[in-house]
Structure 1
Amino acid sequence: MISQGVKSTEQCGACGGVLVRDSGQFVHGGRLWWGSEGRCRACGHGWCEEDTGGPTPEPLRRALLAKHGAARVRTAVPLTGRVGLLRALREHRGLSLAEARSAADELASNGLTGTLVETELLAAALRRHGVEAVVEPAEPVPGASSGGSSGQDSAGR
């Protein structure tokens, strides 16, 4: 299972003590899930929440990206055809044909960025459609030329 998490602390709303929150994203059954749970060290107040199907809440995505950095998914080899790529993008991300074409152009040039979990899930969808895809850190390697980014991520934001 592909997963990535982050721990944080905040003030407990029940007693004012230190609340420890453990949050993350993971892939289960071919779908993106996110979860968050927390417990106060002082009073024991706690909760757990989990969801799939919709986007991961932005505060959680930002925390994952801040801790682990972004990942980039790109095609592994130059494309000879775009049918599999367009199908994968439309099915995986629910894009119109025009949106899928734009995302395909970005994927084939600079790649799409997101959390490691998001990019691995997209790469798996691409591979199911016969598109060789690789996931790598999005930060430029020292000494390598940077290709820039359009700002669009693998989650379509």
Structure 2
Amino acid sequence: MTGQTAKIASPCECGTMAMRQVNQFMLHDELWWDSEFSCGSCGTYLCEHASPGAAPADVREALLAAHGPVKLRLISPVPSLVPALKVFREATAASLTRARELVEELSHDGVVGTLPVMEFLKARLQTRAVPVDIDR
């Protein structure tokens, strides 16, 4: 299981600053994210979210700030990038236009994102015989 965690200072209802922990990981061949909130002053603890799917922007940004981005890239030429287009459409629910942009990025400089997302895409692309690797 590939995963990353970041902690974000967050205001609590009690008036103090608390901690929000966000996580992104692969579980049972799916990409998941979750968020937990805890306050050391008043003892509040909440599981704010836990489910499969794409993480919201604030979670992605916190993970990128904590761990830095990684790059998914082609490691050898392929006769057709149609399988990659299908993966991006299916795995990310991207529009056809956005999937084409991602394929273009993959075939040039690489697709940049969090490690869990790039591992998720790598597994799916390799299943379709698209030779990719991750630069950390």
Note if 1:16 corresponds to 2:15: yes
Whole-angstrom CA distance in 2 between matches of 1:103 and 1:130: 17
Shift of 1:90: 2.5
Q: Residue 59 of structure 1 aligns to a residue in which SS?
A: helix
Deviations 1:17-67 (A, max 9, x none): 3422211111112221111112111211110021223x3111111111111
Gap runs ≥5 in structure 2: none
Whole-angstrom CA distance in 2 between matches of 1:99 and 1:11: 35
TM-score norm. by structure 1 comes to: 0.76
Amino acid corresponding to residue 119 of structure 1 in structure 2: M
Q: Residue 32 of structure 1 aligns to a residue in which SS?
A: strand
Q: Residue 78 of structure 2 aligns to a residue in which SS?
A: coil
Q: Residue 41 of structure 1 aligns to a residue in which SS?
A: coil
TM-score norm. by structure 2 comes to: 0.87
Q: For 1:134-145, what aligned pairs fall within 5 Å after superposition?
A: 134-137=133-136
**Given that residues 79 and 108 in structure 1 are in contact (C-alpha distance below 8 angstroms), is that contact kept between their aligned partners in structure 2?**
no
Whole-angstrom CA distance in 1 between matches of 2:127 and 2:71: 18
Aligned Cα root-mean-square deviation (Å): 1.8
Deviations 1:105-128 (A, max 9, x none): 221111111111111111111001
Gap runs ≥5 in structure 1: 138-157
Which residue is 1:119 aligned to? 118
User: As a proportion of its length, which structure holds more strand?
Assistant: 2
Which residue is 2:63 aligned to? 64
Superposed structure 1 runs of 4+ greater than 6 Å apart? none
Q: Residue 80 of structure 1 aligns to a residue in which SS?
A: coil
Which residue is 1:101 aligned to? 100
Whole-angstrom CA distance in 2 between matches of 1:18 and 1:99: 38
Report the identity percentage.
36
Whole-angstrom CA distance in 2 between matches of 1:128 and 1:12: 44
